[in-house]
C-alpha cells in the first residue's frame, strides 16, 4: 500500500521549483522501500500530459496549497490502481466511484461526435464587430448578413444556456474562399485593416479570407459549448450558429441527454480525476481529457419501439404487408435496428411458403427493446455473412437475432448444445471483439418471482409481467431531455424578464420578481432530478453520492 507519510520525509528537501524535481521526488519514493515501488513518471503519465499537469495531480494528492501545505493523512492504494491513462491519487472509496463510472460509461471518443476548437482569425480587430457595426454593414448591403455570425467567448458560456453577446464575426471563410467582391460593405470595412491583414500568417486565399477550418460547417449545427478553463460545469446548448473565440470548445451535436450528463455533479466529480487543475480550483477541459469521459450511451426512447412493436404484433394474417417501410424496434451497440411488416409476417408464418418461427409468443416481441444487456455472443453466419446476436434466455437456450445490415431478418430460439455444434462445424464463426461477455445473465432471472417457468417465451401472462418489469427498470434519454428543456426554457424566460425589469411599474416588478423566483426554483429542482438520474445510471450508493456531493 502507498502512504502519504512516505513522501512527507522528502518534502523539506525540495523547493518544488519545476516538474523535474517532482519526478525526482517520486523516483526517490520508489527507491525508498515503499511497497508501491513507484517507477519513472513517464511510464505512468498519459503521453499528452505535460509536466505542469503532473505537478497539479501530485499536489492535489498531497493536499498542498502552493505546494507547501502539511501532509496529514495516509492514502491506502495499490500500485495497480495507477494506469498510464489514469494517474490519480485517491482514497479507496473514491476509487470505487471512479471505477463504477468507467464501467458503465462509454468514452466520448467512441461516440458519434467530434470535439472541436474555437475559430482563429489572425487579426481579431478586423473580423470581430459589435452590434452597431453589424447593423451598419447590413444596412449598407443586405448581403452582408450572409457572412456575419454570432460570436461567443468563454465568459458568455453558462450552464445550459449562454449569455447574450454583442459581438459578431465576419466569416469570410476559405472553405471554399469567400469572394469578398460580393460583399462590398464588408470589403470596405476590411480595407481599413488591409496592411495588417496582408501580413498575418493565419489567412486564406486572400487577405480577406480566414484560414482553412476543417470543421467550419459544424459551427452551423446545434451544439454543446464549453470553456477550457472552469471551476464548475458550464456546458451550454447553442442553436444560434454561434462561433467561438478565446479558449473554448464545442461538441458538434446538440445532444440534450449528453448535455444533462455533462452538467451533472457526478461527471464534474469524475472530471476532477482525469483533468489537470489550476491553483484557483479550475479544471482544464482539454480535448484529450474530454474524449476519455465515460457517458452511458443509453436508448433514446422506448416509446417509439413499443409503439412500433404493438403495430407489428397486431398485423392480421393474409393481409398485404409493406416491404419498404422500416420500423425501429431496438438498438444494440448504439446501432438502431429495424424490421418491416413483410419480414415480421414471414417470421410469424403469415406469408405463404414460409413456416416462420411460431415458438415465440407474440408478447415476447415486447421484450426485444430491452435485450442488449442479455446478449452473450456475436456470431457470423458462414453461409451468407450475416451477423447474429445471441441472447441468453435460460442458460440452456439462446435467442438468435439475425441481421442484414440494420434489418432484423429473423428471430428464433436455438438449443445451446445444437448451437455449439454449429459453431464447431463452422456454420457460425464466433466474433471475439464484442463488449458483451458470455457471462450475461439469462433473461429468465428478470422474470417476476414465480411468474416464469420452463419455456416462458410461450406464456402470454409471464411475458406481460416480464415486459412490465423490464420497462419499469429501464432508463431512456427521454426524462433527461425533458428536464433539460424545462431548465433551458425557464432560464430563457428569466433572462427575458430581467431584461425588461427596470421598465416595469412597481406592481409589475413585484409580479415579475415572483415569477423569476418560481422559475429559479424550477431550475434548481430539475437540476437536482438530473443529478439523481445520473447517479442511478452509474449505480452509485447513498454513501457514494454523499462523497460526490461532499456531504459530511
The reply to whether the predicted model has a pTM over 0.85 is no
Whole-number pLDDT of residue 461: 83
Query: pLDDT at residue 40 above 50?
Result: no
Query: pLDDT at residue 263 above 50?
Result: yes
Is 533 within the bounds of a domain? no
Match 454449429 to its residue by C-alpha cell.
Answer: 422
> In this predicted structure, which of 3-7, 210-214, 273-277, 537-541 has the lowest mean pLDDT?
3-7
Name the β-bridge partners of 168. Answer: 129, 150
pLDDT tier, 446 (very low <50, low <70, confident <90, very high otherwise): confident
Query: pLDDT at residue 362 above 80?
Result: yes
Q: How far is Cα 411 from Cα 348, in angstroms, rounded to an integer?
A: 10
C-beta separation of 258 from 264 below 8 A: no
pLDDT greater at residue 72 or residue 458: 458
Q: What is the mean pLDDT of residues 215-241?
A: 94
pLDDT tier, 4 (very low <50, low <70, confident <90, very high otherwise): very low
Both 321 and 464 in one domain: the answer is yes
Q: What angle do CA 438, 443, 449 make, to 5 degrees?
A: 135
Domain boundary among 411, 443, 473: 473
Whole-number pLDDT of residue 9: 37
Q: What angle do CA 148, 152, 157 make, to 5 degrees?
A: 155
Whole-number pLDDT of residue 294: 95
Is 462 within the bounds of a domain? yes
Q: What is the mean pLDDT of residues 454-465?
A: 81
Mean pLDDT over each residue of the chain, to the nearest integer: 82
Q: Is 25 exposed, middle or buried (0-12, 13-18, 19+ CB in 10 A)?
A: buried
Both 323 and 429 in one domain: the answer is yes
Whole-number pLDDT of residue 450: 58
Q: Would you call 552 helix, strand, or coil by DSSP?
A: coil
State residue 296 phi and psi, 5-degree precision: -65, 125
Is 263 within the bounds of a domain? no
Q: How far is Cα 158 from Cα 153, in angstroms, rounded to an integer?
A: 11
Q: Is 117 exposed, middle or buried (0-12, 13-18, 19+ CB in 10 A)?
A: middle
Cell numbers that stand for 133 in this block: 457595426
Both 412 and 466 in one domain: the answer is yes
Q: How far is Cα 150 from Cα 209, in angstroms, rounded to an integer?
A: 18
Is 146 within the bounds of a domain? yes
Cell numbers that stand for 293 in this block: 469521459
Query: pLDDT at residue 386 above 60?
Result: yes
Both 190 and 250 in one domain: the answer is yes
Whole-number pLDDT of residue 455: 77
pLDDT tier, 513 (very low <50, low <70, confident <90, very high otherwise): very high
Whole-number pLDDT of residue 437: 45
How does DSSP classify residue 160?
Answer: B
SS3 sequence of 171-203? CCCECCECCHHHCHHHHHHHHCCHHHHHHCCCC
pLDDT tier, 185 (very low <50, low <70, confident <90, very high otherwise): very high
Cell numbers that stand for 450 in this block: 414465480
Cell numbers that stand for 330 in this block: 431496438
Total structural domains within the chain: 3
Is 398 within the bounds of a domain? yes
Q: Where are the alpha helices (DSSP H) in 12-149?
A: 19-30, 41-44, 51-62, 92-104, 124-127, 131-140
Long-range CB contacts for residues 294-297, cutoff 8 Å, separation at least 24: 294/101, 294/102, 294/104, 294/105, 294/106, 294/107, 294/270, 295/105, 295/106, 295/108, 295/111, 295/258, 295/261, 295/262, 295/267, 296/104, 296/105, 296/106, 296/261, 296/537, 296/538, 297/106, 297/111, 297/334
Helices (H) and strands (E) in the chain, counts: 19, 20
Cell numbers that stand for 165 in this block: 453577446
Q: What is the mean pLDDT of residues 315-331?
A: 87
pLDDT tier, 191 (very low <50, low <70, confident <90, very high otherwise): very high
Whole-number pLDDT of residue 241: 92
pLDDT tier, 544 (very low <50, low <70, confident <90, very high otherwise): very high
Both 34 and 123 in one domain: the answer is no
Both 170 and 75 in one domain: the answer is no
Q: How far is Cα 19 from Cα 3, in angstroms, rounded to an integer?
A: 21
Is 523 within the bounds of a domain? no
CB neighbours (10 Å) of residue 261?
25
C-beta separation of 55 from 277 below 8 A: no
pLDDT greater at residue 189 or residue 71: 189
Whole-number pLDDT of residue 356: 67
**E strand or H helix at 116, and its extent?**
strand 115-117
Both 80 and 168 in one domain: the answer is no
pLDDT tier, 58 (very low <50, low <70, confident <90, very high otherwise): low
State residue 120 phi and psi, 5-degree precision: -120, 130
> In this predicted structure, which of 248-257, 417-426, 465-474, 476-485 has the lowest mean pLDDT?
465-474
Q: Among residues 448, 251, 445, 466, which one has the least CA distance to residue 369?
A: 466
Residue 324 structural domain? 303-473
Quick one: how far is CA 312 from the chain centroid?
33
Both 195 and 338 in one domain: the answer is no
pLDDT tier, 89 (very low <50, low <70, confident <90, very high otherwise): low
Most confident region among 91-95, 301-305, 352-356, 403-407 by mean pLDDT: 403-407
Q: Among residues 378, 374, 383, which one has the least CA distance to residue 430?
A: 378
- Measured CA to CA in angstroms, residue 39 lies from 42, 390, 458 at distances of 9, 44, 59
C-beta separation of 466 from 456 below 8 A: yes
User: Terminal CA-to-CA distance of the chain, rounded, Å?
Assistant: 26
Both 153 and 229 in one domain: the answer is yes
Is 371 within the bounds of a domain? yes
Domain boundary among 473, 503, 528: 473
Q: What angle do CA 106, 102, 378 make, to 5 degrees?
A: 50
Both 242 and 316 in one domain: the answer is no
Q: Would you call 164 helix, strand, or coil by DSSP?
A: coil
Whole-number pLDDT of residue 17: 40
Both 78 and 144 in one domain: the answer is no
pLDDT tier, 95 (very low <50, low <70, confident <90, very high otherwise): confident
State residue 236 phi and psi, 5-degree precision: -115, 145
Q: What is the mean pLDDT of residues 208-227?
A: 93
Query: pLDDT at residue 337 above 80?
Result: yes
Query: pLDDT at residue 179 above 90?
Result: yes
Both 359 and 220 in one domain: the answer is no
Residues 6 or more apart whose CB falls under 8 angstroms from that of 17 comprise none
Whole-number pLDDT of residue 31: 41
Is 372 within the bounds of a domain? yes
Domain boundary among 254, 285, 314: 254
C-beta separation of 225 from 238 below 8 A: yes
Whole-number pLDDT of residue 52: 44
pLDDT tier, 28 (very low <50, low <70, confident <90, very high otherwise): very low
Whole-number pLDDT of residue 368: 92
Amino acid at each position: 500500500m502507498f502512504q502519504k507519510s512516505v513522501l512527507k520525509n522528502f518534502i523539506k528537501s525540495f523547493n518544488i521549483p519545476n516538474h523535474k524535481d517532482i519526478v525526482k521526488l517520486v523516483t526517490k519514493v520508489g527507491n525508498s522501500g515503499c511497497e508501491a515501488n513507484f517507477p519513472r513518471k513517464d511510464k505512468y503519465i498519459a503521453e499528452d500530459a505535460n509536466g505542469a499537469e503532473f505537478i497539479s495531480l501530485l499536489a492535489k494528492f498531497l493536499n498542498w496549497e502552493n505546494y507547501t501545505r502539511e501532509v496529514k493523512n495516509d492514502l491506502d492504494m495499490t500500485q495497480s490502481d495507477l494506469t498510464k491513462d489514469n494517474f490519480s491519487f485517491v482514497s479507496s472509496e473514491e476509487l470505487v466511484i471512479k471505477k463504477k463510472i468507467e464501467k458503465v460509461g462509454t468514452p466520448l471518443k467512441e461516440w458519434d461526435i467530434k470535439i472541436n476548437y474555437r475559430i482563429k482569425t489572425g487579426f481579431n480587430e478586423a473580423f470581430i464587430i459589435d452590434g452597431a457595426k453589424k447593423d451598419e454593414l447590413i444596412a449598407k448591403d443586405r448581403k452582408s448578413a450572409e457572412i456575419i455570425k454570432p460570436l461567443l467567448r468563454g465568459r458568455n458560456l453558462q450552464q445550459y444556456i449562454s449569455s447574450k453577446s454583442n459581438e459578431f464575426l465576419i466569416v469570410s471563410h476559405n472553405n471554399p474562399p469567400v469572394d469578398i467582391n460580393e460583399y462590398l460593405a464588408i470589403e470596405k470595412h476590411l480595407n481599413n485593416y488591409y496592411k495588417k491583414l496582408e501580413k498575418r500568417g493565419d489567412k486564406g486565399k486572400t487577405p480577406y479570407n480566414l484560414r482553412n477550418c476543417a470543421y467550419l460547417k459544424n459551427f452551423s449545427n446545434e451544439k454543446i459549448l464549453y470553456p477550457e478553463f472552469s471551476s464548475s460545469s458550464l456546458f451550454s446548448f447553442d442553436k444560434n450558429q454561434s462561433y467561438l473565440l478565446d479558449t473554448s470548445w464545442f461538441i458538434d451535436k446538440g445532444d440534450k441527454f449528453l448535455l444533462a450528463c455533462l452538467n451533472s455533479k457526478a461527471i464534474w466529480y469524475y472530471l476532477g480525476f482525469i483533468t489537470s487543475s489550476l491553483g484557483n480550483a479550475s479544471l482544464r477541459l482539454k480535448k484529450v481529457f474530454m474524449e476519455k469521459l465515460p457517458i452511458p450511451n443509453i436508448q433514446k426512447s422506448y416509446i417509439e419501439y413499443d409503439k412500433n412493436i404493438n403495430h407489428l404484433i397486431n398485423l392480421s394474417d393474409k393481409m398485404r404487408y409493406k416491404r419498404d417501410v422500416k420500423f425501429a424496434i431496438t438498438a444494440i451497440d448504439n446501432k438502431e435496428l429495424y424490421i418491416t411488416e413483410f419480414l415480421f409476417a414471414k417470421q410469424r408464418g403469415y406469408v405463404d411458403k414460409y413456416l416462420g418461427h411460431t415458438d415465440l409468443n407474440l408478447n415476447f416481441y415486447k421484450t426485444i427493446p430491452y435485450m442488449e444487456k442479455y446478449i452473450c455472443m456475436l456470431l457470423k453466419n458462414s453461409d451468407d455473412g450475416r451477423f447474429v446476436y445471441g441472447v441468453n434466455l435460460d442458460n440452456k437456450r439462446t435467442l438468435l437475432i439475425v441481421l442484414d445490415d440494420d434489418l432484423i431478418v429473423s428471430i428464433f430460439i436455438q438449443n445451446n448444445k445444437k448451437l455449439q455444434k454449429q459453431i464447431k462445424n463452422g456454420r457460425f464463426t464466433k466474433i471475439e471483439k464484442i463488449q458483451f461477455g458470455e457471462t450475461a445473465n439469462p433473461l429468465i432471472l428478470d422474470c417476476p418471482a414465480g411468474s416464469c417457468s420452463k419455456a416462458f417465451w410461450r406464456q402470454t401472462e409471464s411475458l406481460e409481467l416480464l415486459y412490465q418489469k423490464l420497462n419499469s427498470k429501464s432508463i431512456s434519454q427521454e426524462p433527461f431531455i425533458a428536464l433539460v428543456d424545462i431548465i433551458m426554457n425557464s432560464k430563457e424566460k428569466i433572462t427575458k424578464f430581467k431584461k425588461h425589469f427596470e421598465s416595469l411599474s412597481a406592481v409589475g416588478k413585484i409580479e415579475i420578481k415572483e415569477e423569476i423566483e418560481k422559475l429559479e426554483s424550477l431550475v434548481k429542482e430539475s437540476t437536482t432530478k438530473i443529478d439523481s438520474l445520473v447517479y442511478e445510471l452509474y449505480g452509485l450508493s447513498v454513501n457514494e453520492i454523499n462523497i460526490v456531493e461532499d456531504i459530511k
